[in-house]
């Protein structure tokens, strides 16, 4: 209050008092008894419905960065800072921040659908589901579909475990909802890349394959299973542990070197591993008669090749993976889906405490508001993260204020 102790007109002492205080908003009245000067000063502008701008900005900053409101506000209170109450935050979240996230996602999705209609050949989608907790006790599951050619998220579906028989059904339900949405937008699904989820594979085989949709398995998931099988088998064989990276790389090479997806060639390349690790590079399969590498010389010839007993172990692992999965491998890696889902669920450690509406806002905020808002806390001090977050946050909150009346029922 010392800033208002002197009258700006006559430089005499004046009286000042706080006439209104609401969250971060302060309004002060200054009166000078000597010259009669008086004025009202406030520390921030007022938006519609007499809402202080910084109150909404604080709610938006907490929500868009994924912080817990109660803990953040408690910390600010302990520092002695003026801040809003938890009830004000949840009111802003319900009326402004969540509606603007939904609006931004709908606008971004509509633009993506328009661009995809102009592309030929149908959609090439990679999909995967991520749950908020491991095991069979998840409360939420989000299914994401990414168009592989343009590397953009086409749709994200949030499924609550209470909507399906159990949490393991969330992946299939999310895929069904996404496919129904794409059909409603007159988009043809030409290729679908997923993991080896049995329910998804059966549903795609019965519902989508008769309509011309090709189903492939993501090589990353199969390589993960292969690595686990090799780790288990290598406990009894040290030679197998040394060959583990090469065997996993051979699986990736099998998919990447066969862009046309010819199942006979892919199976022949995969089976050639058994001969290659025994220093046998000519094979009896017409589809792949010899290894693709050139003649081995020098140190390459002096490698420690596996003995027949170890090869028998590798053959068992390859048979356990089922050759039909190898024939359905896709050379498109679903890494973006995994990274996106990791970002979605890295905001907090215990997501089962949140309601469905808040979870819906989180996953769509990760998709439609990076990098300046939803992921600014995750990317830290990277060059992208050094973008002017304050200007972006102010613009989004202003958009929320103007758009919220049209979005709310």
d(CA 276, CA 85): 67
pLDDT in tens, 140-184: 888 889 888 888 889 988 888 888 888 888 899 999 999 999 999
pTM: 0.72
Q: What is the pLDDT of residues 246-295, one digit of tens each?
A: 888 888 888 888 888 788 888 888 888 888 877 788 888 888 989 888 88
Query: Any idea where the domains of the chain sit in the sequence?
Result: 1-43, 48-118+390-409
H or E stretch at 216: strand 214-218
CA 101, 107, 110: angle at the middle one, nearest 5? 135
Query: Does 1-43 carry CATH code 2.20.25?
Result: yes
Q: Which letter, b or e, does each residue of 154-179 get, where b requires 16 or more Cβ atoms within 10 Å of its Cβ?
A: bbbbbbbbeebeebbebbbbbbbebb
Which structure tokens are listed for 20? 């209104």
Return d(Cα 171, Cα 144) in angstroms, integer.
10
pLDDT at 202 > cutoff 80 = yes
Torsion over CA: 67, 68, 69, 75 (sign): negative
What distance in Å separates the CA atoms of residue 225 and residue 41, rounded to the nearest whole number?
Answer: 66
Q: What is the pLDDT of residue 362?
A: 67
């Amino acid at each position: 209050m010392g800033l208002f102790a002197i009258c700006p007109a006559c430089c005499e002492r004046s009286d000042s008092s706080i006439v209104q205080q609401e969250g971060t908003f302060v309004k002060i009245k200054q009166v000078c008894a000597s010259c009669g000067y008086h004025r009202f000063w406030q520390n921030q502008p007022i938006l519609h419905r007499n809402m202080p701008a910084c109150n909404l900005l604080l709610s938006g900053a907490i929500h868009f960065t994924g912080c817990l409101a109660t803990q953040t506000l408690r910390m600010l209170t302990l520092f002695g800072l003026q801040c809003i109450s938890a009830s004000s935050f949840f009111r802003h979240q319900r009326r402004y921040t969540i509606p603007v996230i939904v609006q931004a996602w709908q606008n971004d999705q509509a633009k993506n659908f328009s661009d995809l209609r102009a592309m030929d050949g149908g959609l090439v989608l990679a999909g995967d589901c991520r749950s908020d907790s491991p095991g069979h006790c998840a409360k939420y599951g989000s299914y994401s579909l990414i168009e592989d050619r343009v590397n953009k998220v086409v749709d994200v579906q949030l499924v609550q475990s209470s909507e399906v028989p159990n949490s393991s059904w969330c992946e299939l339900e999310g895929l069904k909802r996404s496919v129904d949405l794409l059909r409603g937008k007159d988009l043809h699904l030409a290729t679908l890349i997923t993991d080896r989820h049995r329910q998804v594979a059966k549903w795609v085989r019965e519902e989508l394959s008769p309509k011309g949709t090709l189903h492939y398995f993501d090589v990353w998931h199969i390589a993960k299973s292969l690595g686990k099988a090799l780790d288990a088998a290598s406990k009894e064989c040290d030679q197998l542990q040394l060959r583990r990276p090469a065997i996993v790389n051979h699986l990736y090479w099998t998919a990447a070197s066969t862009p046309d997806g010819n199942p006979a060639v892919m199976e022949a390349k995969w089976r050639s591993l058994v001969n290659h690790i025994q220093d046998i590079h000519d094979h009896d399969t017409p589809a792949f008669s010899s290894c693709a590498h050139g003649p081995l010389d020098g140190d390459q010839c002096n490698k420690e090749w596996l003995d027949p007993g170890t090869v028998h172990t590798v053959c068992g692992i390859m048979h356990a993976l089922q050759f039909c999965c190898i024939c359905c491998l896709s050379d498109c890696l679903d890494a973006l889906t995994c990274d996106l889902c990791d970002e979605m669920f890295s905001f907090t450690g215990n997501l089962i405490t949140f309601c469905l509406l808040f979870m819906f806002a989180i996953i769509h905020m990760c998709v439609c508001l990076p990098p300046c808002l939803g992921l600014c806390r995750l990317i830290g001090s990277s060059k992208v993260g050094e973008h002017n977050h304050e200007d972006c946050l102010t613009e989004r909150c202003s958009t929320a204020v103007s758009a919220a009346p049209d979005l709310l029922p």
